[in-house]
C-alpha cells in the first residue's frame, strides 16, 4: 500500500505541474487554459501509445536480443516457468542479449505479451539462487504492470515538456511587452520539464523498490536478490554497456550505463545499498536470518 500511495502522490505532483503549465499556456489559446492543456496532452498520448504498442520490438532489436526456445535455454525456461507458477502468471517469452555485461529487463504491454531478457553476462556471473532472484524481480515488473505505469508517467512528462517548449518559443517570438509575464513564462518553460523529469524518475525508483519486494516474495528469498544486486552493481560499474541507448536504461534491473553526479540526480534506479537494506528488512520480517 505504501508503494501505491507514493506512486499516486508522484502522479498527483505531475498532474499539478501539468495544470500549472496549462494555465501558463492559456494566453496562447484565447485565455482557455484547459484547451492548451488538452491539446498538448493529446499529442503526448499519441506519441506514447505508439511507443507502448511497439516498444517490445524496438527494445529487443536495439539490444540484439534473441527469443530462445525451451530447447535452446532449458534452465532459463524452467526457472521462469517456476516463478510464473508461484505468481499465478502466464509464461512470458524468454530472450538472451549478446552482451557480457550482466543485466536483465522485462518488456511488453501486459502479462500476456511480455518478454524477460537476460544478458550472457548475467548467466555467467550469478549462481542459481541469485539468477532466480533477478528473474523474479523482472516477473514482478510484469505482474505490477510497471510498463503501463511508466508509459503514463512518460505521457505526462512528455506533455509538460512539449507544452513548456511551446510556451518558451511562443514568448520568445510572440512580441509580448509585459516583462513580468515574459519572465514567468520563461522561468516555467525552463523549470517545468526538469521538474517533470524528476517526478518521472521518482516514479521509476518507486517501482524498482516494489519489484524488489514483490520478486523476493515470489521466491521467498530476499537475500538471493540482495546478493545479485551487489554483484550486478559492481560488474556494471566496472564494465558498463557500450552498445545501447541510455534512454532505455530504466528498463534494466541496474543501470547498465556509466554516469556521473548529474546522472545520479536523474537516476531511474534507487541506490543499490538502499535496495539491499529494504530486502534485508524484508528478510528479517520473514524470519530468514539465521
Among candidate residues 70, 196, 222, the one with its CA nearest the CA of residue 140? 222
pLDDT value of position 76:
97
Sorted by sequence, the CB contacts under 8 Å of residue 43 that are 6+ apart come out as: 159, 162
Mapped onto helix, strand or coil, the DSSP state of residue 154 is helix
> Do the beta carbons of residue 189 and residue 164 sit within 8 Å?
yes
Q: Exposed, middle or buried: residue 134 (CB in 10 Å: 0-12, 13-18, 19+)? A: buried
Identify the bridge partners of residue 108 per DSSP, sorted by sequence position: 114
Active site residue 72: no
DSSP string, 210-237: HHHHHHHHHHT-HHHHHHHHHHHHHHHH
C-alpha cell at 113: 505479451
What are the angstrom distances between the C-alpha of 258 and each of 29, 204, 262, 264?
43, 18, 11, 10
* Cα–Cα distance, 199 to 202 (Å, whole number): 5
Q: Tens digit of pLDDT per residue, the chain (290 long)?
A: 555 666 566 656 666 666 666 666 655 555 566 676 676 667 666 766 776 777 788 889 989 999 999 999 999 999 999 999 999 999 999 999 999 999 999 988 889 999 999 999 999 999 999 999 999 999 999 998 887 777 666 666 666 676 667 666 666 665 555 666 566 666 666 766 676 677 667 777 888 999 999 999 999 999 999 999 999 999 998 888 877 767 677 789 998 886 554 455 567 789 999 999 999 999 988 774 44
pLDDT value of position 47:
67
Mapped onto helix, strand or coil, the DSSP state of residue 254 is coil
- Global pTM reads 0.76
**Domain ranges for the chain:** 2-10+53-152+186-286
pLDDT value of position 290:
44
> Do the beta carbons of residue 215 and residue 137 sit within 8 Å?
yes
- The 3-state DSSP composition of the chain as helix, strand, coil percent (nearest 5) reads 70, 5, 25
pLDDT value of position 228:
97
**CATH code assigned to 2-10+53-152+186-286:** 3.30.2010.10
Among candidate residues 157, 142, 158, 151, the one with its CA nearest the CA of residue 49? 151
138, 208, 233, 283: which is the annotated catalytic residue?
A: 138
Amino acid at each position: 500500500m505504501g508503494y501505491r500511495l507514493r506512486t499516486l502522490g508522484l502522479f498527483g505532483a505531475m498532474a499539478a505541474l501539468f495544470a500549472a503549465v496549462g494555465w501558463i499556456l492559456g494566453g496562447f489559446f484565447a485565455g482557455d487554459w484547459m484547451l492548451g492543456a488538452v491539446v498538448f496532452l493529446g499529442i503526448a498520448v499519441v506519441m506514447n501509445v505508439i511507443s507502448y504498442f511497439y516498444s517490445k520490438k524496438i527494445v529487443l532489436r536495439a539490444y540484439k536480443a534473441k527469443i530462445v526456445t525451451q530447447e535452446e535455454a532449458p534452465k532459463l525456461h524452467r526457472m521462469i516457468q517456476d516463478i510464473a507458477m508461484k505468481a499465478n502468471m502466464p509464461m512470458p517469452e524468454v530472450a538472451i542479449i549478446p552482451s557480457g555485461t550482466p543485466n536483465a529487463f522485462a518488456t511488453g504491454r501486459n502479462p500476456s505479451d511480455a518478454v524477460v531478457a537476460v544478458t550472457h553476462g548475467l548467466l555467467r556471473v550469478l549462481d542459481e539462487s541469485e539468477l532466480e532472484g533477478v528473474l523474479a524481480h523482472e516477473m514482478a515488473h510484469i505482474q505490477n504492470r510497471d510498463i503501463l505505469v511508466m508509459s503514463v508517467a512518460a505521457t505526462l512528462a512528455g506533455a509538460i515538456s512539449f507544452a513548456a517548449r511551446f510556451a518558451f518559443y511562443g514568448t520568445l517570438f510572440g512580441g509580448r511587452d509585459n516583462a513580468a509575464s515574459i519572465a514567468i513564462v520563461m522561468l516555467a518553460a525552463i523549470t517545468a520539464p526538469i521538474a517533470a523529469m524528476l517526478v518521472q524518475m521518482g516514479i521509476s525508483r518507486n517501482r524498482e523498490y516494489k519489484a524488489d519486494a514483490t520478486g523476493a516474495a515470489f521466491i521467498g528469498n530476499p537475500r538471493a536478490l540482495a546478493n545479485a544486486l551487489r554483484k550486478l552493481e559492481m560488474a556494471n560499474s566496472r564494465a558498463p554497456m557500450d552498445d545501447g541507448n541510455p534512454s532505455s536504461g530504466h528498463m534494466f534491473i541496474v543501470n547498465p550505463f556509466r554516469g556521473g553526479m548529474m546522472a545520479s540526480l536523474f537516476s531511474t534506479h534507487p541506490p543499490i545499498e538502499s535496495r539491499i537494506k529494504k530486502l534485508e528488512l524484508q528478510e528479517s520480517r520473514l524470519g530468514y536470518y539465521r
